[in-house]
Chains A and B, each alone.
Chain A
Amino acid sequence: MYTLGIDIGSTTSKCVILEDGANIVASSLVVGGIGTSGPEQALSRVFQDSGLTREQMDGVAATGYGRNRCGETELKVSELTCHGLGAHFVFPQVRTIIDIGGQDAKVISLDDAGRMQNFLMNDKCEAGTGRFLDVMANILCIPVNDFGDWAAKAKAPASISSTCTVFAESEVISQLAAGTETADLVAGICASVAGRVASLAKRINIVPEVCMSGGVAQNSGVRLALAEAIGQPIEFSPLAQLFGALGAALYAYHKIK
C-alpha cells in the first residue's frame, strides 16, 4: 500500500511516498511554496524518482499552509499533527518537537503514543522564524545553509537585542559597519532566533527528548544555540525538513488502513 504526503509551506514544497506506513520510497523538496509552481514540481519529482504514479497511491494527505489549495487530495491535516507524526516515526522517544518553518515557529507536545497533546505557535511577528534568517543572510551575503559553519567559527558572538526583524536588520548593518566579525554576527543572529523560540518552548512543559523539524532544523547554528537556551540536547535528522510530508503520508496510511 502506497500513501503520499504533500507539505506545501510558505517557502518550500515537500512530498514523501510511503510503503505500508513503514518505508520511505521517495521524497522531494523544492524551493517554492504556496502560490508558486513548487507543489507541482515536488509532485512530479517524487513520482519520477519513485517510478510510481498518482493512480498507484492508495491515500493522499496534504498539509502546510497550502493544504486547502491542494486539489490532489481529500485529506487535509494541519502541519502540527503531521510534524508530530513524522517526528515520532523517526524518533519514537521524542515528546517535544520544535518546528521552525519559513513563517512560523511551533512547539508541539506528544504523548507516549506520539499523539499531539498540546501546541503553541508564535504570534504574528516573523522574528524567530526562517524568514528572519533569510533577511539576515541577505544582508551578510551568506547562504543561510552556511550559517552553522560560520557560527561555529565565532569567537565572541554579537548581541542582537532587537526582536523586530526590521530593527534587527539595521542593528546587524550597524555592527557590520562597526567592524564586527561576520562569524560573530552569524552566531548572534542564531542565538537571537534561539532565544525567541526558547521563550515560546518554555511556556509549554518541555518533556525530553526534544527534536527539531522544519527547514531551520538544518541550521546547526540555531540548533545548538536552541539546545543551550532550553537546557536540553536536541535530536536532529537529515529528514527534519520532510517531517511534515512524512507525517501527512503516515496520516493517510492510518486513515485508510
Chain B
Amino acid sequence: MSEEIKKHRPPPDPNSAKYKLGQIAAKAYSDAQEAKDRGEMVGWCSSNFPVEIPETLGLAVVYPENQAAGIAARGGGERMCQISEADGYSNDICAYARISLAYAKIKDAPEQNMPQPDFLLCCNNICNCMIKWYENLAIELNIPLIMIDIPFNPDYEVSDAQVAYVRDQFWAAIHQLEEITGKKWSDEKYKEVMEYSGRTSRAWLAATACAHYEPSPFNGFDLLNHMAVMVTARGKKEAAEAMETLLKEYEDNHAKGVSTFRAEEKYRIMFEGIACWPYLRATSTGLKSRGINMVTTIYADAFGFIYKDFDDMCRAYCKVPNAINLEYARDKRVKLCKDNHVEGLLVHTNRSCKLWSGFMYEMSRQIGQECNIPVASFDGDQADPRNFSEAQYDTRVQGLTEIMEINKEAK
C-alpha cells in the first residue's frame, strides 16, 4: 500500500478574514442544529429573503441554496438530483431545487447536513422556480410557508407603490412569524441588525471594489467562497467584523503589492453567472493557468444591501440583480467592467437558471459592444455535473485569451 503524502499546510491564522469567514459560514449550520436540539423552531430561507427579519426575531434559519452549492461542490449533486428526478421532477428545473427537494425527502447528505425545517421563508426576487420549489417543500413537509412577492421591475427606480406593496408583505411576514414561533419583534434589535447588515455590506462592497487595483489584490474565486457569509449572516456583528478584516487585508495586499491570485495577472475578466460548483477547480484552473483573474462578478454585488430605514430596506430588496430589467442590469455590469478595467467577459450559460441565462445572450452582446471587450460563453450548471464539458470550456477560454492577447498587442 502506498503511503499517502499530504502537502504540509500551515494552520490557518485565526485572525485572518478567511478563517473568520469560514467559521461564520460553518457556525450558521451548527447554530441552527443546536437551536433545533434545544427544541426551537428552525426555518429554511431563500437567499434574497430579508435576512433582517429572522435575525431580529432571533430565529435560526439555514439556506437551501447555500447547502445545495456545498453538496454540489463536494460531489453530491448528481446523486441528489437523481433522487428528485426519480420522484418526477424534470431535469430542466433548477438543480438547487432538485437537491433541496431530495434532501427534504432523505434528510441526509454527508457533504452538508442541516436541520429539517419547521417553517419556510421564500422571496421570489431572485428566482421564479423558487415559488414552486418552496410550495412543494411546504406540502411535502406539511409546514407553514411565508412567501414574499417582489415583482420584476421594468423601471430604473423603485416606485413608492412598490415599496408600499413590499413593506406590507414584510410586516405580514413578521406578524406571521411571531405567531408561528412565539418570538417577538423589537425595533431596538432591528436597528442593531440593520447597522450590522449595513456595516457588513459596505465592507463587502468596498472589498470587492479593490479589484480596481492593478494587479487585483485578490483572486475573484475567493469572492465565491466568502459570499456564503453575505447570504447567511450579513446581519450579524461577527460578519461585519470579518468583512472589515477582509477589506483591510485587500488594502494591505495592494499596499504590499501582493495578491491571493497566485499567478501573474496577465488578463482581467468579468465572470457572469453563478459558479459552476461541481467543476470549481476545473473552471478556476482553466483561468489561472492562463494568467486570467476573474476580478468581478455581479453575483458578489447581489448580496450587498445598503439602506437607512425599513422602507429603504424594502427598496433595496426590490433592486437585486434578477429582479431588474435588462438595461439596468446591463448598466450595472458595464460599470463593474469599466471600474475594474476588465478585458473580457466569460459567461456561464447555467442550465439551472433559465431566468438568468435566458437574457444573457443579448445582455452579454450589449456589454461586449459597450465595453469593447470579447465575450465567450460556456455551457454548465450550478449544481448538476451532467451539463458541463471541460474540453469545450477549455477551448472557449483559450479562444477568449487569444483575442485578449491580440487586443493587448494592438495597444
Contact = CB atoms under 8 A, between A and B. Distances in A.
A13 B398 CA distance: 20
B246 interface: no
A155 interface: no
A116 B403 contact: yes
Given A124-B379, A124-B392, A118 B398 contact: no
A117 B399 contact: no
A148 to B, nearest CB: 28
Contacts of A203: 361, 365
Given A116-B406, A124-B379, A78 B387 contact: no
B398 to A, nearest CB: 4
Interface in B386-407: 387, 389, 391-392, 394-396, 398-399, 402-403, 406
A78 B376 CA distance: 13
Interface string B373-389: 01110010000000101
A221 B7 CA distance: 58
A28 to B, nearest CB: 23
B125 interface: no
B349 interface: yes
Contact of A123 (B349, B394, B402, B410): B349
A121 B396 contact: yes
A203 B406 CA distance: 22
B35 to A, nearest CB: 43
B394 to A, nearest CB: 7
Given A81-B402, A124-B387, A203-B365, A117 B374 contact: yes
Contacts of A184: none
A78 B402 CA distance: 8
B402 A65 contact: no
Contact of B389 (A81, A119, A124): A124
B277 to A, nearest CB: 18
B406 A115 contact: yes
Contacts of A123: 349, 379
A248 interface: no
Contacts of B368: 118
Contact of B395 (A80, A115, A116, A124): A80
Contacts of B387: 124
Contacts, number: 45
Interface residues of B, number: 21
Contact of A78 (B379, B389, B398): B398
Given A117-B374, A123-B349, A124-B379, A80 B399 contact: yes
**Residue among A68, A77, A79, A118 with most chain B CB within 10 A:** A118
Contacts of B399: 78, 80-81, 116, 119
Contact of A118 (B349, B394, B403): B403
Given A123-B349, A203-B365, A78 B395 contact: yes
B381 to A, nearest CB: 10
A7 interface: no
A119 B397 CA distance: 11
Contact of B394 (A68, A104, A115, A124): A68
A115 B402 CA distance: 10
Contacts of A104: 392
A118 B376 CA distance: 8
Given A124-B387, A203-B361, A77 B379 contact: no
A121 B398 CA distance: 13
Contacts of A124: 379, 387, 389, 392
Interface in A112-139: 115-119, 121, 123-124
Interface in A60-87: 65, 68, 76-81
A203 B368 CA distance: 13
Contacts of B395: 65, 78-80, 121
Contacts of A81: 399, 402
A80 B392 CA distance: 12
B259 to A, nearest CB: 26
B261 to A, nearest CB: 22
Nearest to A121: B396
A203 B410 CA distance: 25
A228 to B, nearest CB: 24
Contacts of B394: 68
Contacts of A80: 395, 398-399, 402
Contacts of B398: 76-78, 80
A81 B402 CA distance: 7
Contacts of B396: 121
A123 B393 CA distance: 11
Nearest to B389: A124
Interface of B: 349, 361, 365, 368, 374-376, 379, 387, 389, 391-392, 394-396, 398-399, 402-403, 406, 410
5 contacts: A78-B402, A115-B410, A116-B406, A119-B403, A123-B349
Shortest Cβ-Cβ A-B pairs, 9 listed = A80-B399, A78-B398, A124-B379, A78-B399, A81-B402, A115-B406, A123-B379, A65-B391, A119-B399
Given A65-B395, A80-B395, A121-B395, 15 more contacts: A77-B398, A78-B399, A80-B398, A104-B392, A115-B406, A116-B399, A116-B402, A117-B403, A117-B406, A119-B376, A123-B349, A123-B379, A124-B379, A124-B392, A203-B361
